Amino acid sequence: MLSKRFVPNVGEDNSPEMDEGWWASVLADEEAYASSQKNTPSKASSSGLVTVDWNRVQALYERDEVVSLQVYGYNRGGVLVQAEGIQGFVPVSHLVDMPCNAHDDERRQVLNDYVGRTLDLKVIECEPAQERIVLSERAALAGQGRRRQLFNTLKPGEIVHGTVTNVTDFGVFVDLGGLEGLIHVSELSWGRVQHPSCILKVDQPVDALVLMISEENGRV
């Protein structure tokens, strides 16, 4: 979890005290958003189901390895990818060639152009119980092992620099160079925020304070 409110001036330490109840409520918002991103394709070039090798997917996630998968379909939220033993979803915000603030027709055309392409990706979420695999093209650009390196070096209270990848009703996602962090709407400003898009835009650089790190859940 990140904060834009608490980015201190030089020499100051304004790190807030966070409690588990607050953290749980933030994660609930994020999970509600994630569950709304359905993996049903509006266009598909292959209808065959893939038997997922969950051990392989988990190993790819834990080792932070890059894997090549083919795009076989898409929906409004992103593209669907598969290869032997893997079938997953790449959100729009994790696609390199998706323009920021693309209108619906442009978004649909870009997604359609992705079908049939082979992408280098990283697994950023692996949840066998929910049969959920989420991958990122942006994260793959950072190279293998970058996420693990960031988890090993990032500390609460540290100032990080990143780029906004997605703006939602509940907050802003920020690419930290191989790892994605969330600035909850409550951490964007000291004043009332009508909507996160009033504060930050996609592709905008931002400095933020690291509040909490959960390597188990793959979140900052």
pLDDT for 160 equals 86
Same domain, 121 and 171: no
195: region left, alpha or beta (phi > 0 left; psi from -120 to 50 alpha): beta
3 state DSSP class of 66: strand
Residues 162, 210 contacting (CB under 8 angstroms): no
- Number of structural domains (the chain) is 2
Confidence (pLDDT) at 57: 93
| Three-class secondary structure of residue 213 per DSSP | coil
User: 117 pLDDT exceeds 60?
Assistant: yes
18 pLDDT more than 70 = no
pLDDT of residue 114: 93
Count of other CB atoms within 10 angstroms of residue 119: 21
**Model pTM score:** 0.67
Examine the fold and report which residue of 106, 140, 174 is the final residue of a domain before the chain moves on: 140
User: In this structure, is residue 93 part of a structural domain?
Assistant: yes
Beta bridge partners of 206: 162
Q: How many angstroms separate the CA atoms of 57 and 39, rounded?
A: 17
Domain end, chosen from 117, 140, 163, is at: 140
**31 within some domain:** yes
* Range of 55-59, 74-78, 139-143, 191-195 with top mean pLDDT: 55-59
Residue 25 lies in a domain: yes
107 shares its domain with 83: yes
Q: Tell me which of 116, 140, 164 is where a domain ends.
A: 140
Distance of CA 30 to the CA centre of its chain: 10
Checking if the pLDDT of 23 tops 60, the result is: no
pLDDT of 145-160, one tens digit each?
Answer: 777 777 778 888 888 8
Q: Which structural domain range is residue 11 located in?
A: 2-35+146-210
CATH code, 58: 2.40.50.140
Same-domain pairing of 182 and 198:
yes
Give me the mean pLDDT over the 191-204 stretch. 86
Percent share of the chain, pLDDT over 90: 19
